Amino acid sequence: MSHAVPTEKPSNPTNPRVFFDVDIGGEKVGRIVLELFADVTPRTAENFRALCTGEKGTGKSTGKPLHFKGCPFHRIIKQFMIQGGDFSNHNGTGGESIYGDKFEDENFHYKHDKVGLLSMANAGANTNGSQFFITTVPTPHLDGKHVVFGQVLKGMGVVKILEAIETKEDPCIISDCGEHKDGDSWGVELDDGSGDTYPEFPEDAEVDFKDVDKVQSVAEDLKNIGNTLFKNQDWKGAVKKYSKALRYLEFGGDEFDEEIQKKLEPVALSCFLNTAACKLKLQLWQEALDSCTEALELDKKNTKALFRRAQAHAGLKDFMSHLKTNTIHFPFAAIIGEMKKVHLKIQEEKEKEKKMFAKMFA
């Protein structure tokens, strides 16, 4: 009989903890801290713990270090799971356990009934080695076939980032791993000098997301930090804070009905508008356009969003859209300069075409 995984984290304070530090495309993303259910699956938990520390030396079957360090997440399926643990072949065909090549299914005590569960990957009954997966949605069809032996304590935001990655384009690597002891970093602390004290991902924050005022306050704090960075012309840093504020708003918004969610919209609107302004400064025209579109979904007649959208169109050399936007929405003097620029650009493009065709038929 399978049982639901305990909702308390950790489920048992005496259970061991391990960590993965994760890189994507060579850049550090964050830390995942996992609890291993040694009280229910001691043999499976010990296999995983030792593979995190690398203490067992070299594998007899693979001839490779029994260690997850440097190992990729080789298989990622959105709305399902992220899979890793093949330290020998890096493609899902290798790996081995600390007990030899394979070992038996210990039990199916826990169900795959929520996100963030750690379970053994296998090729059928009693074929457990070193490969594992972390669920990103409940996966009840795996119950009775794969051994659930742990859960994510911190770093679910990192798991979500991994879930969205194309592994062929951006390698997702366990850059470091080991046993997580009392006093060790949970990987959610922030010290970037901006005054931001909130974890990078709302899943790791000690915030009551059922309290709309608290969620709004956190988002306002992050937006204001972004504004300070904007004033200092740190466009990329500002975008990070606006994006972070939006993550907190989105995470908190799931807890509220539509009427209460409207209380959060002004902060979200400011973040989209300010992000668009930063993207324009960085000449990331399409990304600026996307941010304007998000802003206009909240306020269809917002003049800042319309104006910045027009600037993004100009940057993309979509001059007619730019001219149309300004003509329809901005019948005031401040826009005349922009319109003159557009007419000039259109004329320049026409002249380029004339010269090009002249050469072709010379």
What's the rounded mean pLDDT across residues 33-57?
98
Query: Tens digit of pLDDT for each residue in 130-149?
Result: 999 999 999 999 999 999 99
pLDDT band at 204, cuts 50/70/90? Answer: confident
Rounded to 5 degrees, φ, ψ at 154 are: -140, 150
Determine the Cα–Cα distance for residues 35 and 149; give it in Å rounded to an integer: 9
What's the rounded mean pLDDT across residues 345-356?
64
- Indicate the residue type of 127: T
Give me the pLDDT at residue 362, please. Answer: 47
Structure tokens at 242: 């606006």
Q: Which of 113-122, 189-198, 345-354 has the lowest mean pLDDT?
A: 345-354
Give me the pLDDT at residue 347, please. Answer: 66
Place of tokens 């996966």: 139
Q: What is the CB neighbour count within 10 angstroms for residue 295?
A: 25
What's the rounded mean pLDDT across residues 51-55?
98
Q: Check: CATH 3.40.50.720 for 213-352?
A: no
Determine the Cα–Cα distance for residues 206 and 282; give it in Å rounded to an integer: 34
What is the SS3 assignment for 288? Answer: helix
What's the rounded mean pLDDT across residues 318-337?
53
Give me the pLDDT at residue 10, please. Answer: 84
What's the CATH fold of domain 17-179?
Cyclophilin (2.40.100)
Give me the pLDDT at residue 8, please. Answer: 73
Triad 121, 125, 130: Cα angle to 5°:
30
Q: Which of 71-75, 225-229, 245-249, 356-360 has the lowest mean pLDDT?
A: 356-360
The H-or-E segment that residue 207 falls in is none
DSSP 112: -
pTM of this structure: 0.73
Say if CB 95 and CB 133 are below 8 A apart.
no
Query: Tens digit of pLDDT for each residue in 236-245?
Result: 999 999 999 9
Structure tokens at 123: 């090729």
Of residues 167 and 204, which shows the higher confidence score? 204
* Strands (DSSP E) found in the chain: 17-24, 27-36, 75-77, 81-84, 117-120, 132-135, 148-154, 172-179
Query: Could you list the active site residues?
Result: 75, 80, 83, 122, 133, 142, 146
pLDDT band at 317, cuts 50/70/90? Answer: confident
Q: What is the CB neighbour count within 10 angstroms for residue 228?
A: 14
What is the SS3 assignment for 5? Answer: coil
Residue 306 in this model has a pLDDT that exceeds 70? yes
Determine the Cα–Cα distance for residues 270 and 273; give it in Å rounded to an integer: 5
Q: Which of 13-22, 201-210, 278-287, 316-325 has the lowest mean pLDDT?
A: 316-325
The domain ranges of the chain are 17-179, 213-352
Across the chain, mean pLDDT equals 89
Determine the Cα–Cα distance for residues 284 and 161; give it in Å rounded to an integer: 22
Query: Tens digit of pLDDT for each residue in 63-98?
Result: 999 999 999 999 999 999 999 999 999 999 999 999
What's the rounded mean pLDDT across residues 347-360?
62
Q: Which of 116, 149, 114 is nearest to 131 (CA)?
A: 149
What's the rounded mean pLDDT across residues 150-158?
94
Q: Which of 250, 239, 257, 270 is nearest to 202 (CA)?
A: 250
